[in-house]
Amino acid sequence: MLTSFFGKSIPLNYLILGVFIVVGYLLGAISVYNIVDSPYLLLNNAAFILISVLIMLLLDFIIRKNHLTKTNTYAILFFTCFMVMLPVIFLQHKILLANAFLILALRRIMSLRSDTNSSKKILDASLWITLASLFYFWSLLFFIPLWIAIIQKPNSNYKQMIIPITGFMAVLIINTAYQFFVYDSFAWFFDWKKPISLDFSKYNSAAILVPVTVILGFYIWTSMYRVLRFSSVSLKEKSNYFLLLYVSITSLLVAILGPEKTGAEILFILAPVSIIAANYIENFGTDRYVEKDITEFWFKEIMLWMVVILPFVFLFL
């Protein structure tokens, strides 16, 4: 049973999911070009395979460190399967890099409820967000959940509200100096902001439309459940409980406002959606609940099997 297997956090789970990402990446890359065509291409793709696996592991670290789910691997199972459902994600290296930096920022944002080294955490988050924006401009929207987290944290003050601006300016100054010395130009600044595109014509492909519909369906269903459960959440957990919803909404805006709609931009919403979906599964995954309602148990079991099987089905679309 998948609910019991991924209901644990054991090394085998990480190995299986890591291999799944590697296979998904290779299938996605091979469908477009020969990744062994040159040593550079081979090394480049090897590096991004490693980055993809590290993103999954980093997400798991954030979840465990901030107790966003119980001790299980449901969230990274969802994250991995959602990624492999859309192999186009692995072809957009700038989006992969931007998402990696945003996951690093998310690590700091979610940890702000602990009032230790707050200023350092805020500065780190702002640096990662600004770095992400160099690859995908609208990543800057993540400053919104960062400021929300600062307001919600214990002992917040106006000085901490200014720290993100310091981090933003630091990255801008360093990148401007780099661009000037290497390319003798400031042109990057004028090309930094990309136009918003609402052209979803590429979504007409079944290989893009069907996986995106499944992922957004999970997002809507589990988010509604999360909102309805808010009253039963302990006071201590309420701030982070809703902060994750703010992050998911921001991620959706980042994807929508992108300059090109290829399907790869859905990557930005996968981390928060995976955590929310994992919360949905685990709240009914106990033995006590199975005895109480076997129908609901099988509903969760079938849902997990569907998420695992669909990436293989979508390969033939």
pLDDT digits (tens, 9 = 90+) for 174-216: 999 998 888 887 878 888 888 888 888 889 888 899 999 999 9
Asked if residue 65 is part of any domain, the answer here is yes
DSSP assignment of 114-146 equals: S-SSHHHHHHHHHHHHHHHHTTSGGGGGGHHHH
Side-chain-side CA neighbours of 282 within 13 Å: the count stands at 20
How many other CB atoms sit within 10 Å of the CB of residue 275?
28
pLDDT digits (tens, 9 = 90+) for 246-266: 999 999 999 999 888 999 999
Asked if residue 159 is part of any domain, the answer here is no
pLDDT digits (tens, 9 = 90+) for 158-184: 889 999 999 999 999 999 999 888 888
Count structural domains, the chain: 1
Q: Supply the pLDDT for residue 80.
A: 96
Q: Is 68 helix (H, G, I), strand (E, B) or coil?
A: coil
Instruction: State percent of the chain over pLDDT 90.
Output: 49
Asked if residue 47 is part of any domain, the answer here is yes
Which residue type does 120 have?
A: K
Asked if residue 100 is part of any domain, the answer here is yes
> Which one-letter DSSP state was computed for residue 90?
G
Asked if residue 136 is part of any domain, the answer here is no
Give the list of residues 6+ apart from residue 81 with CB closer than 8 angstroms, or none.
20, 307, 308, 310, 311
User: How many angstroms separate the CA atoms of 45 and 38, rounded?
Assistant: 11
Asked if residue 185 is part of any domain, the answer here is no
Q: Is the pLDDT of residue 288 over 50?
A: no
Asked if residue 285 is part of any domain, the answer here is yes
pLDDT (mean) for 228-234: 76
**What pTM does this model have?**
0.92
**What are the C-alpha distances in Å from 15 to residues 89, 99, 119, 204?**
21, 22, 36, 35
Q: Is the pLDDT of residue 290 over 50?
A: no
Cβ-in-10-Å burial (0-12, 13-18, 19+) of 58 comes to: middle
Asked if residue 184 is part of any domain, the answer here is no
Rg (C-alpha) for the chain, rounded Å, is 20
Higher confidence at residue 225 or residue 81?
81
For the chain, what's the residue count? 317
Which residues constitute the domain of residue 270? 2-115+194-314
pLDDT (mean) for 111-129: 90
